[in-house]
Chain A
Amino acid sequence: EDKVVQSPLSLVVHEGDTVTLNCSYEVTNFRSLLWYKQEKKAPTFLFMLTSSGIEKKSGRLSSILDKKELSSILNITATQTGDSAIYLCAVGNTGTASKLTFGTGTRLQVTL
């Protein structure tokens, strides 16, 4: 059974801090790892990672995959209150159904 574990479960930081969120996985026939941000409603897509060691970057957010360690990190620099959300990690396998297995998420709260 595919499994995704995220840490920490929750995190409170001050605006301007840098945070690192972790995701580790066990999956048969790994295809991709995805990060989503969920505020109040629908998760919104952040990154998809398929290759080890290649950093994906979007503004203050970046992510990298380590296939040897079966893990990924999501970094957020110079955090803002608008970064407060649940960050979800999901992995997909090579099956034709393109199913995703999600972790429980990391709840990030950024305070002034």
Chain B
Amino acid sequence: DGGITQSPKYLFRKEGQNVTLSCEQNLNHDAMYWYRQDPGQGLRLIYYSQIVNDFQKGDIAEGYSVSREKKESFPLTVTSAQKNPTAFYLCASKGRETQYFGPGTRLLVL
């Protein structure tokens, strides 16, 4: 099956803890993106990567970090510096024309 997978589906974070959200794609896409979605708000761009070993900050990068060591994988770490991490996180990759989304990870704070 071709597509984008995200894990876990739900993630609980304790205060002061770093957590990592996984995003994998087997679509052979170069560009990948991380978005955050809060209730009543649209998707906001956290980080994006156009090619392996390269990534740029989006509009709300503070408190997050990423890596892009492989074309297929673009993990997002939510650090303890992110004071309001509770949200729905969506990963996307870009095909020829459009972005395609994974199923998302819901992050909750204990």
A residues neighboring B (CB under 8 Å) = 4, 9, 32, 34, 36, 41-45, 48, 88, 90, 96-100, 102-105
Known: A43-B43, A45-B98, A48-B98. 19 other contacts (CB 8 A): A9-B40, A34-B99, A42-B4, A43-B90, A45-B99, A48-B97, A88-B43, A97-B31, A97-B48, A97-B50, A97-B56, A98-B31, A98-B50, A99-B45, A99-B58, A100-B43, A100-B45, A102-B42, A104-B40
Given the complex of chains A and B, what is the CA–CA distance between A98 and B31 in angstroms?
Answer: 9
Chain A residues contacting B90 (CB-CB under 8 Å) are 42-43
Nearest-Cβ distance from residue B100 to partner chain A, whole angstroms: 7
Residue of B43, B50, B97, B100 with highest tally of chain A CB at under 10 A: B43
A99 to B44, CA, bound (A): 11
Interface pairs (10), CB distance under 8 Å: A44-B101, A45-B98, A48-B98, A88-B42, A88-B43, A97-B56, A98-B99, A102-B35, A104-B42, A105-B42
Q: B residues engaging A (CB < 8 A)? A: 4, 31, 33, 35, 40-45, 48, 50, 56, 58, 90, 94, 97-104
Whole-angstrom CA separation of A71 from B37 in the bound complex = 23
Shortest beta-carbon distance from A23 to chain B in Å: 11
Query: Chain B residue with minimal CB distance to A88?
Result: B42
Q: Are B101 and A104 in contact, CB atoms less than 8 angstroms apart? A: no
